[in-house]
Amino acid sequence: MAVDPVTGDVYVQFYDRRDDPANQKTGFTLARSTDGGKTFTNYSWAETPFESKQPAFLGDYTWLTAHGRKVYGIWTEVSPAPERLEKDGRAPRPITAVRVGIADFSDSK
């Protein structure tokens, strides 16, 4: 959670599976409140949802800050493992990617 010290707007970000009826694909959502947290409007941080079948510590690696209606967030996503085997014959591990989101609400109230 972040509170913009200039405007008082409240921002939260979270992993979100509600758009997938199978509850497998995960998106990442930014929510914004301009009324002190009474109501929130959701925005998708991630362009496409990802599916992770491997356990990961995704929620441990997030960050959010806001200032002057500009919001910056960081989160991690897991991509499927490559099709090829590792050099030693082991199955490859999924790839964890760090994503950065920037939202500019300067033109909104």
Q: Which long-range contacts (CB under 8 A, 24 or more apart) does 23-28 make?
A: 24/51, 25/49, 25/50, 25/51, 26/50, 26/51, 26/52, 26/58, 26/77, 28/75, 28/77, 28/99, 28/101
| Average pLDDT along the chain | 87
What is the percent of the chain with per-residue pLDDT over 90, rounded to a whole number? 49
Which pLDDT score, from 0 to 100, does residue 81 have? 67
Query: What local confidence, expressed as pLDDT, does residue 61 receive?
Result: 85
**pTM reported for the whole predicted model:** 0.83
In the predicted model, is pLDDT for residue 105 greater than 70?
yes
For 3-53, what is each residue's pLDDT tens digit? Answer: 999 999 999 999 998 888 988 888 899 999 999 999 999 999 888 888 866
